[in-house]
Amino acid sequence: MCPKTIFHIDMNAFFASCEQARNPELKQVPLIVGGDPETRRGIVLAASYDAKAYGVKTTMLIHEAMRLCPKGKVIAASHDLYVEMSQKVMSIFDDYTPIKQQVSIDEAFLDMTGTEHLFGEPKVAAKRIQDDILKQLDLPCSVGIANNKLLAKMASEYKKPMGITTLFEEGFRERIWPLEVGELYGIGKKTVPKLMAMGIKTIGDLANAKVNILVDAFGYKTGMYMHESANGIGTDVVDGSMEQPKSIGNEMTYSKDILEMALIREEVLLLADRVGYRLRRKMLSGKTVSVKLKYSDFSVMTRSKTIEAPTHHTEIIYETAMALIRQAWTKKPLRLLGVTVSGFEASDYRQVSLFDMEMTTEKAEVDHMLDEIRNKYGYSSIKRATLLDRKPPK
């Protein structure tokens, strides 16, 4: 079987680039998106590349960003604009291949296998896609080209903005193995010190480590994944189906009875946080929030509420779920709690402006800040302060 041709396309400084495309005058100054422009409170959601050159980074406090970049301009985020532009970008991808896997609002994998007779060799096709997005939307992007998704993802990080990079297995050792182990996609910040303590400092060290040592230290699944990734082994399956689920939910079963409302609130926040994150990842919002309660006698109670506008925000999900539980809980010992959001409509995510009217900018930014970090370092890489000691639901 011939190797596949996989593209990973990553929009460059997406939120900032969208703002600059809408208002070209913003290209004249270092641009910082996020927080309150008047009070300069809040966090950085995105920064243009000239702002990044001053050391401005995502999730940095606005006042710290302005200290580093005093000539920068701070503007509030326009999430409805970003969703609209994302949909236009994905539409351009559809012109090149029907096999597309969108993995976030600003990136996607494309299976370009066999399209050479239509669009030219991979680098030529990548340049065509890049040019189309720039001409039609005034947005820059970087393209990674490889035979699997792991290498394509790593290749797209090589040059930003407007880079096109190939990374195939035959050149993997020379280009990737000398890099620090933390540069390998999928290796979180918490994992790096553990690997360093084991004498594994580079990706090459990880590739040449004994598998049984990694499995013993990190478990079978994680240990095997790290070893295979360090050797350039990854899946080439681009999941183009993306069938929309009817609901998204999580539940937790407890080994001990839950009797205190304070603990219930903590558990429901944990569940709502996970559900909200999954909704935003899939670009979905729902109007119906449901809760499930299973008591120690194995009886089950469910309650649902349909809210005015579709939501994907953790706090709205949490507050609605807690209102249902306060009404439904009979004070009997609980052994299971569940939170689910359903009632999806076509492109509900585009109605994000409705959510922002319901929530303060600061609360909305918390969701997006957490998402940015989790998308890069994994879901468990950051937690809300009240949930520091809690394990997330699967």
Q: Which long-range contacts (CB under 8 A, 24 or more apart) does 315-319 make?
A: 315/272, 315/359, 315/363, 315/367, 316/355, 316/358, 316/359, 317/272, 317/275, 317/276, 317/289, 317/341, 318/268, 318/269, 318/272, 318/273
Secondary structure (3-state) at 184? coil
Question: Would 393 be classed as within a structural domain?
Answer: no
Same domain, 158 and 207: no
Domain residues for the domain of 191 are 172-230
Question: Would 394 be classed as within a structural domain?
Answer: no
Alpha-carbon separation of residue 71 from 23, 30, 65, 251, 348 (angstroms):
18, 7, 10, 48, 37
Same domain, 32 and 94: yes
Question: Would 193 be classed as within a structural domain?
Answer: yes
Pairing verdict, β 334-344 and 247-258: antiparallel
- Of 19, 64, 107, 365, the catalytic one is 107
Pairing verdict, β 334-344 and 286-295: antiparallel
Same domain, 197 and 253: no
CATH number for position 72? 3.30.70.270
Among residues 231, 234, 233, which one has the least CA distance to residue 205? 231
Cis previous bond, 193, omega within 30:
no
Same domain, 84 and 109: yes
CATH number for position 177? 1.10.150.20
Among residues 111, 126, 103, which one has the least CA distance to residue 2? 111
pLDDT tens across the length of the chain (394 residues): 678 999 999 999 999 999 999 999 999 999 999 877 777 778 888 999 999 999 999 888 998 999 999 999 999 988 889 989 999 999 999 999 999 999 888 999 999 999 999 999 999 999 999 999 999 999 999 999 999 999 999 999 989 999 999 999 778 899 999 999 999 988 888 899 999 999 999 999 999 999 999 999 999 999 999 999 999 999 999 987 655 678 999 999 988 899 999 999 999 999 999 999 888 877 788 999 999 999 989 899 999 999 988 888 899 999 999 999 999 999 999 999 999 999 986 444 433 333 343 444 455 566 766 776 766 666 665 666 555 555 555 5
Domain count, the chain: 3
> 189, 182 in Cβ contact below 8 A?
yes
Rounded to whole angstroms, the Cα distance separating 346 from 349 reads 8
Same domain, 256 and 142: no
Same domain, 198 and 293: no
Active site residue 174: no
Domain boundary among 119, 145, 167: 167
Secondary structure (3-state) at 109? strand
> 124, 118 in Cβ contact below 8 A?
no
Structure tokens at 242: 């993306």
Question: Would 349 be classed as within a structural domain?
Answer: yes
Same domain, 144 and 200: no
